[in-house]
């Protein structure tokens, strides 16, 4: 149920994802931290090829089979490189670019996957396996919710690092196809992997520029974005609502976002810098109202808040699906404010126990 809601929300947010087609109960119990009713979730995707698929093919050391897998992947997902001089190196480039784009999209909605192993990295750049995922409430780059991630390997801020690590594992499987000479293959693959941070930065900055209503790329964009995030971290500000309230500030009501930032002087200084940048770009109050509307179109009001997901799951276990259906309705229309969904925008009340996700969630 949680996975269905999460991938439906991600789809509504415009983030590439697998989808849930059907759930079939098995009538048996599945035992993890405690017993769960067994079920099979049927997922649909552009394909279910993963980095782990290539690792398995490489592990059996059968190069014809590995090449057949790579050729199938190119034919299915990247036919434009089929005639390239080194199509396997270009396959690495394509997969890396898709991952850089995908992780940037995760980051700009506060999504934390929770278990970014190589078997959960789709070759076609879709989000897959929602078991221990969560959406961040208060902004903090070290946010972790998964019960199996005690060391923070897959923390919010570490997701780009882990994506690069997964791309490197993918590159290892392609080495015998990239070049017959191992040194040449390593040099070519390492050059691509070294470029991952730059590719990711392009996507990350573009995503956050859109969240801030900025339409031109400037040299100090990373500084401006990083400054806001640092203030949000210091003030323990809610990630989702902070960006919605910035749009309200453009409409003339800065009180909600200033209150969320506890009227911090550093935030007021940032706000003045941001507004000056917008004036530089658009120049008129009328245009700023249009920018606010554009911001509302990319900054969700409703995401699957962890406490709401938990409440929906608990109710469903008793046969009551009304909370789940209401939550699903809100998160699949995440940008439009509706009075009947107001509660779904709220963070968890103070005093609510820390939320922990499990692979069985």
**Which residues have C-beta within 8 Å of that of residue 161, sequence separation ≥ 6?**
none
119 is catalytic: yes
- The answer to whether residues 281 and 212 touch, using CB atoms and an 8 Å cutoff, is no
For 2, other C-beta atoms within 10 Å of its C-beta total: 23
* Bridge partners (DSSP) listed for residue 134: 112
CA distance 239 to 231: 11
Determine the 3-state secondary structure of 24 from DSSP: strand
Largest CA distance in the chain: 65
Rounded Cα distance between 28 and 39, Å, is 8
Burial degree of 142 (CB within 10 A; 0-12, 13-18, 19+): exposed
Q: Which of 71, 119, 266, 268 is catalytic?
A: 119
Residues 6+ apart with CB under 8 A from 85: none
Which residues does 164 contact at the CB level (< 8 Å), separation at least 6? 193, 196, 197, 200
Phi, psi of 97 (to 5 degrees): -65, -40
Q: Which two tokens stand for residue 353?
A: 């126990």
Counting Cα atoms < 13 Å in the Cβ hemisphere of 249 gives 24
Tokens 């059968």 belong to residue = 62
Q: What is the spatial distance between Cα 34 and Cα 32, in angstroms, rounded to a whole number?
A: 5
For the annotated catalytic residues, the residue numbers are 119
């Amino acid at each position: 149920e949680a996975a269905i809601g999460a991938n439906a929300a991600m789809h509504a947010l415009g983030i590439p994802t697998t989808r849930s087609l059907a759930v079939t109960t098995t009538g048996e119990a599945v035992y993890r931290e405690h017993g769960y009713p067994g079920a099979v979730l049927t997922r649909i995707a552009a394909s279910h090829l993963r980095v782990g698929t290539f690792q398995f093919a490489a592990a059996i050391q059968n190069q014809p089979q590995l090449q057949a897998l790579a050729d199938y992947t190119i034919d299915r997902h990247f036919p434009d490189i089929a005639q390239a001089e080194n199509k396997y190196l270009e396959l690495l480039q394509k997969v890396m670019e898709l991952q850089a784009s995908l992780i940037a999209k995760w980051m700009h909605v506060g999504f934390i996957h929770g278990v970014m192993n190589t078997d959960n990295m789709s070759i076609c750049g879709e989000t897959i396996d929602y078991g221990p995922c969560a959406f961040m409430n208060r902004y903090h780059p070290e946010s972790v919710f998964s019960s199996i991630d005690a060391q923070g390997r897959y923390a919010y801020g570490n997701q780009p690092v882990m994506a690069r690590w997964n791309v490197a594992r993918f590159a290892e499987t392609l080495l015998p196809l990239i070049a017959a000479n191992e040194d040449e293959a390593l040099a070519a693959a390492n050059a691509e992997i070294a470029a991952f941070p730059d590719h990711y930065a392009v996507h990350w900055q573009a995503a956050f520029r859109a969240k801030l209503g900025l339409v031109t790329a400037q040299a100090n964009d990373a500084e401006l974005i990083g400054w806001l995030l640092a203030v949000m971290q210091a003030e323990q500000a809610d990630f989702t609502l902070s960006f919605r309230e910035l749009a309200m500030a453009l409409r003339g009501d800065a009180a909600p976002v200033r209150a969320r930032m506890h009227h911090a002087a550093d935030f007021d200084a940032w706000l003045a810098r941001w507004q000056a940048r917008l004036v530089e770009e658009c120049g008129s109050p009328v245009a700023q109202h249009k920018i606010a509307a554009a911001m509302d179109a990319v900054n969700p009001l409703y995401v699957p808040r962890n406490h709401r997901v938990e409440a929906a799951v608990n109710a469903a276990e008793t046969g009551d699906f009304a909370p789940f259906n209401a939550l699903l309705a809100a998160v699949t229309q995440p940008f439009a404010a509706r009075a009947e969904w107001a509660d779904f925008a709220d963070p968890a009340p103070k005093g609510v126990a820390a939320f922990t996700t499990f692979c069985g969630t």
